[in-house]
Amino acid sequence: MAQNVRVRYAPSPTGVPHVGNIRTALFNWLFARHHGGAFILRIEDTDVARTVPGAVEAIMGGLEWLGLDWDEGPKVGGYYGPYFQSQRLGIYGQEAQRLVAEGWAYRCFCSPERLAEMRKEQMSRHQPPGYDRRCRSLSEREVFPGVAPVVRFKTPLEGETRFLDLIRGEVVVENRTLDDFILLKSDGYPTYHLASVVDDHLMAISHVMRADEWLASTPRHMLLYQALGYPPPHFAHLPMILGPDRSKLSKRHGATSIMEFREQGYLPQAMVNFLALLGWSLDDKTEIMSRQELIRHFSLERIGKTGAIFSHEKLGWMNGVYLRQLSLEDLLAQVLPYLERDLSPPVPRPLDRGYVAQALALVQERMRILREAAELTDFFFLADVEYPAALLYQGLAKGALEGSDAAARAMTALEAVVPRLKHLNSWDAASLEGLLRPLAYELRLTTGQLFGLLRVAVTGRTAAPPLFQTMAVLGRERCLRRLTAALGKLASLQASP
RNA sequence: GGCGCAUUCGUCUAGCGGCCCAGGACACCUCCCUCUCAAGGAGGAGAUCGGGGGUUCGAAUCCCCCAUGCGCUACCA
């Protein structure tokens, strides 16, 4: 692999880029960076009907978000452009023409209707579907005026085609199992087969790394390289990414668009790390790897052969790992947009950065994705917290105490706490703890009972960050107001049992 | 139907003839820490290496057959 490594990621702009495609891009990028080669982005927009506006931007946006920079392609240009196949139609037409002239291909005038019917019949007779080669023997002058022909490849009727796949090893296919596939469509656009072979050659691609679904077409491509007189590149077919049902991952498996992951708050570095491990591994234990480490260690030899199910579960864990590694400033910068977006509307914007930072410090290790930030911290921002009154005293109801007794005990506790909090000299976590811990003993409550009660009163929930730090961040005023509100809840409970 | 590729814990994987009655990670369970939830730490459960034949002193690792899965079989990529 001493030669110049040039690899490409060649998506078709038919929709939003999904993680399967992106993983292919990542492997190509890692391979290029590892070998100091070039990573090329080429847009395969040869299907006019399926091309969707904005898809190219989405693809580039996805790559940029993940930090997969390309050396040649849209935006950056390059010596081998243009990088949109729709702008290279002349080249494909020329090469197709050449193949016809040299006897490697022929024009076919069969109508789509005839082809469809033929296919249907073949299927019903349990025959392998494929073009019956009716136009293969037409002479140069036998043309059908008014019918725009397609150009088909004259696949050899005998012999076999073999090639070495860097991941699978040698693959052999009998030529007679291949039909005369289309090179140029009647609208003048090339099919994938023609366009990718021509461009991979013209763009001096050294290694074609693409998804496994292309393995079966590669013999056709080999035949084309021969006919066109091009030396073929190396091939490496990547294992596919599967949905939970083990079929090719697609939209019906839920969130698969790379941008959806971004919106949910996955970090690009976590995404890169996770995707790299889908089909590739370094050894038997290393999982968390930086971009640089991935580049340093990436190699074709360590790519697996079997499809991998995309596990949201593990991705979530890994994202949490990366989230915890962030400095507070970085975390703040990452989370702010999500909070602005997800916090309930009554919370005044813009958020106070200093205050948000204090709250974030308390939830950093509890977050898996940024999307959860609002839910984890909303009580820091809301004017009042809402919760069922029963939460206040449920921790006190254990043992022989009846519910109403527990509520009464909760009231007693709160009544003892409020005035002391009011007069606490210094409002910080240590002082709060110094006051409240002995108080629990005094009230004949366990710390768990007292702190649990206060946690509910102050945050409205039973699971939250450590109490004293939380109260310190919330501030005296907010805490007292909530404690008083809790007292009110309990009182009205007593009034109407 | 034809052709191709694949098959190790639920999942991602390590393993490339003896170091493996199979190692790591996620998820799960238990315990520790502890004001809850996390995080962290320590354990546990979980794979007759798809099945069957070989080869070999010895196979998850090599060969053959079968089964299953997936992919391709479009004027889609």
Same domain, A115 and A226: yes
Indicate whether A322 belongs to any domain: no
Tell me the CA–C1' distance in angstroms for A242 and B59. Answer: 30
Identify, with chain letter, the residue nearest to nucleotide B23 (CA–C1').
A284
CA of A271 to C1' of B14 (A): 22
Q: Where is the domain boundary, A213, A238, A263?
A: A238
Residue ending a domain, choose from A338, A360, A381: A381
The whole domain housing A160 covers 89-238
- Identify the pLDDT of residue A403: 59
Q: What is the CATH number of the domain that holds A468?
A: 1.10.10.350
Nucleotide nearest to A214 (CA to C1'): B72
Could you report the per-residue pLDDT of A180-195, keeping only the tens digit for each?
999 999 999 999 999 9
My answer on whether A114 and A211 are in the same domain is yes
Identify whether residues A194 and A112 lie together within a single domain.
yes
Q: Which residues of chain A have pLDDT under 70?
A: 1-3, 398-404, 495-497
CA–C1' gap, A288 and B17, in angstroms:
32
Exposure class string for A425-442: b at 16+ Cβ within 10 A, else e: eeeeeeebbebbeebbee
**B50 C1' – A303 CA distance, angstroms?**
22
Structure tokens at A273: 């790390």
User: Nearest nucleotide, C1' to the C-alpha of A248?
Assistant: B70
Question: Count of alpha carbons within 13 Å of A24, Cβ hemisphere only?
Answer: 27
| Type of residue at A131 | Y
- Nearest DNA or RNA nucleotide to A287 (CA to C1'): B25
Please give the protein residue whose CA is closest to the C1' of the nucleotide B7: A306
Residue A374 in domain? yes
> For residue A134, is it within any domain?
yes
A326-to-A172, A243, A334, A360 alpha-carbon distances in Å: 50, 30, 9, 11
Question: Quick one: A394 and A372 in the same domain?
Answer: no
Which are the catalytic amino acids of A?
251
Q: Cα–Cα distance between A235 and A161 in angstroms, integer?
A: 14
Q: Are residues A57 and A109 in the same domain?
A: no
Instruction: Examine residue A454 and state whether it is found in any structural domain, yes or no.
Output: yes
- Do A252 and A162 have their domain in common? no
Q: d(Cα A419, Cα A78) in Å, to the nearest integer? A: 73
Residues A180 and A230 in one domain: yes
A169 CA → B11 C1’, Å: 27
CATH number of A190's domain:
3.40.50.620
Strand B nucleotides with an atom less than 7 Å from a protein beta carbon: 1-8, 10-16, 23-27, 35-40, 69-77
A419, A490: one domain: yes
Task: Give chain A's domain count.
Answer: 4
d(CA A29, CA A374): 35
CA of A173, C1' of B39: distance in angstroms: 54
Residue A332 CA and nucleotide B74 C1' are separated, in Å, by: 50
Which of these three, A282, A309, A336, is where a domain ends?
A309
CA A168 to chain centre: 26
Q: Do A82 and A19 fall into the same domain?
A: yes
Query: Quick one: which residue's CA is nearest to B70's C1'?
Result: A247
Shared domain check, A96 and A180? yes
Domain presence at residue A314: no
Q: Is A234 a domain residue?
A: yes
Shortest-distance nucleotide from A395 CA to C1':
B36
Contact of A64 with A97, CB cutoff 8 Å: no
Query: Is the preceding peptide bond at A82 cis, omega within 30 degrees of 0?
Result: yes
| Cβ neighbours for A94, distance < 8 A, ≥ 6 positions apart | none
Q: Are residues A182 and A248 in the same domain?
A: no
Which nucleotide has the shortest C1'-to-CA distance from A12? B77
Q: Is A36 left (phi over 0), alpha (psi -120 to 50) or beta?
A: left
Task: Tell me if A71 is assigned to some domain.
Answer: yes
Nearest residue (CA) to C1' of B69: A246
Q: pTM of the predicted model, to two decimals?
A: 0.94
Whole-complex ipTM: 0.95
- Residue lying closest to nucleotide B6, CA to C1': A306
Cα A30 to its chain centre, rounded Å, is: 17
The CA–C1' separation of A136 and B74, in angstroms, is 19
A43 CA: nearest nucleotide by C1': B77
Verify that A129 and A169 share a domain, yes or no.
Answer: yes
Tokens of A411: 């009231």
A165 - beta bridge partners?
A169, A235
Query: Which H, E and C letters describe chain A, residue by residue?
Result: CCCCCEEEECCCCCCCCEHHHHHHHHHHHHHHHHHCCEEEECECCCCCCCCCCCHHHHHHHHHHHHCCCCCEECCCECCCCCCEHHHCHHHHHHHHHHHHHCCCEEEECCCHHHHHHHHHHHHHCCCCCCCCCHHHHCCCCCCCCCCCCEEEECCCCCCEEEEEECCCEEEEEEHHHCCCCEEECCCCCECHHHHHHHHHHHCCCCEEEEEHHHHHHHHHHHHHHHHHCCCCCEEEEECCEECCCCCECCHHHCCCEHHHHHHHCCCHHHHHHHHHCCCECCCCCCCCCCHHHHHHHCCHHHECCCCEECCHHHHHHHHHHHHHHCCHHHHHHHHHHHHHHHCCCCCCCCCCHHHHHHHHHHHHHHCCCHHHHHHHHHHHHCCCCCCCCHHHHHHHCCCCCCHHHHHHHHHHHHHHHHHHHHCCCCCCHHHHHHHHHHHHHHCCCCHHHHHHHHHHHHHCCCCCCCHHHHHHHHCHHHHHHHHHHHHHHHHHHHHCC
How far apart (Å, rounded) are the C-alpha atoms in residues A466 and A153?
Answer: 70
Residue A315 inside a domain? The answer is: no
